[in-house]
Amino acid sequence: MGRQKVALAGVSLLLSLFFSPLVFALEQEELSCTKESLSECYEEGVNLFNNKDFEGAKSLFGKVITIDVNYKKASVYLTKCHTEIAKLIIEEKLAAQKQAQKEERQIQLETKKIPDPAQVLSTVSKWEPRDWEQEILAKRREEQRQIDAEARRQKQELMAEMREQQKRLQEEAKKQQQELLEKSRQEEEKIQQEAKRRQEILIELKGLEEQQREAEMQKRREALLALEKEEQKQRELEMKRRQELLAPLMKEEQKQREIEEKRKQEILLALEREKLKQREIEEKRRKELLYGKQDFSPIQTSPAPKTVMASPKKASTKLIEKYPPAMESAQEKTRAIMQGDTLYVSVSKVPDLDKSVTVQPDGTITYPLIGKIKATGLTVNALTQELTEQLKNYIKEPKVVVRPQQSTHLTSSK
């Protein structure tokens, strides 16, 4: 009965020693170690282990492993702590068993009054053992073998229990790690969902902003169209007002144009009359050249008749001096035009531009549509080309003919 009580006490002690740190390690709210102070907890546990405070070291190493499962050094020291604690338990159990055996032997000696075998053997070492002594020794050896076997069995059970506990701790640590991973994954999924939701909200907000911007742009376009319409109306009113203001001016301009047109017509009529006069003169001169003996002077309108008639020879000479013939020789066409020369300019199919011009002292001649043009130093052919080029701005393909009528060179030579 005594041995059974001792065995039960040892088993309960072992269970309390093994399971109390596990429960303590699993209660995370009571842990004083954090991830930042793992190294400090580990160093303190090593110091406690070196000082043979295996319980405190086991508690600290259990905290470290609970926080960080991959802390291998703490796992090694935790196994060592379990081994040392088991050794101490076994030693205490063996000491308790020895004490119990000693007490039982003492009780047996007192009840049976059997002498101590050691004393008997020491005092009577030469005596032959008796039957009852041999039985006692055999019985004691058998009890010792049973105690040793029980101790070995308990030791094996303790080691198996330690291994089982270590497995449970590792499984629990893996489970906690998986739970932490699952929790972190769930948190990450939540974060992703939250980010996705925020992205959707931002997209919706952007869509709303785009709609508002489009509505604002539509309003602005409508306002601009209204302003453009208003400006168009204002421009139309302004144009009407300007037309009303310009109507008298336009009428005045129309009158001025009509007056100018009349003036031009008068000028053209004057040119035509001049042309007719020139033609009459040329015709008369031609007739005088052909019929020099006759007098082709114009009829005098004066009532006083001529009293003295010039001789036919003198009359023809005077007519020739008054109306010199047209000089169309090649020499005259290549001669340089000088001051005082009279030239007859005609344009084919434009009789209004047929005109006699005289070279002015500044060396220029004045011709309709062109105005003043430099003539001195040019030949008749060169002047013809120059007038043709100038008249191209007003007439299509003009054909200009320049004929000298009177030359200062000819007069001086005569």
CATH 3.30.1950.10 residue ranges of the chain are 324-413
pLDDT at position 319 is 39
pLDDT at position 174 is 85
pLDDT tens digits for 310-364?
Answer: 344 443 344 344 444 444 455 666 778 888 889 999 988 888 888 899 999 898 9
pLDDT at position 318 is 41
pLDDT tens digits for 301-313?
Answer: 444 444 333 344 4
pLDDT at position 223 is 92
pLDDT tens digits for 207-220?
Answer: 888 889 999 999 99
pLDDT at position 34 is 66
Nearest to 109 by CA among 140, 130, 142: 140
CATH code matching the domain that covers 324-413, chosen among 3.40.50.360, 3.30.1950.10, 3.20.20.70, 3.30.1360.70: 3.30.1950.10
pLDDT tens digits for 50-92?
Answer: 887 888 887 887 777 777 766 777 778 888 888 888 888 888 8
pLDDT at position 39 is 78
pLDDT at position 31 is 43
pLDDT at position 267 is 86
Least confident of 107-111, 155-159, 215-219, 384-388: 107-111
Question: In which band, very low, low, confident or very high, does the pLDDT at 300 lie, cut at 50, 70 and 90?
Answer: very low
The percent of residues above 70 in pLDDT, for the chain, comes to 72
